[in-house]
Amino acid sequence: MISSISTSWKRAAEQNCLALLELCNSLPKLSQIHTHILKIGLHSNPFVLTRFASRASDLNAIQYASGFLFGPDAQTHLYDTFLFNTVIRAYAQTSHSKKNAVFYYKMMIKDCILPNKFTYPFVLKACAGIGDLGLGQSVYASVLKYGFGDDKHVLNTMVHIKGNVKKSGMIYMKQDLNNLSSYEGSQSKSSPCFSSIFSVPGPLQELLIDKYRKQIFGSSFNSWYGVVEQ
Query: Domains of the chain by range and CATH?
Result: 8-74 (no CATH), 80-179 (1.25.40), 191-230 (no CATH)
The alpha helices in the chain, defined as continuous H runs, are 2-23, 27-39, 46-58, 62-69, 81-92, 98-110, 119-130, 133-145, 152-179, 194-197, 202-217, 222-229
Q: What's the confidence (pLDDT) of residue 9?
A: 81
Helix pair 202-217, 222-229: axis angle to 10 deg: 160
Distance CA 98, CA 197 (A): 34
**Mean local confidence (pLDDT), 103-118:** 93
**Mean local confidence (pLDDT), 196-201:** 52
Which position has the higher pLDDT, 84 or 229?
A: 84
> Pick from 161, 160, 165, 140: which is nearest to 224 by CA?
165
> Pick from 121, 114, 126: which is nearest to 62 by CA?
126
Q: What's the confidence (pLDDT) of residue 153?
A: 79
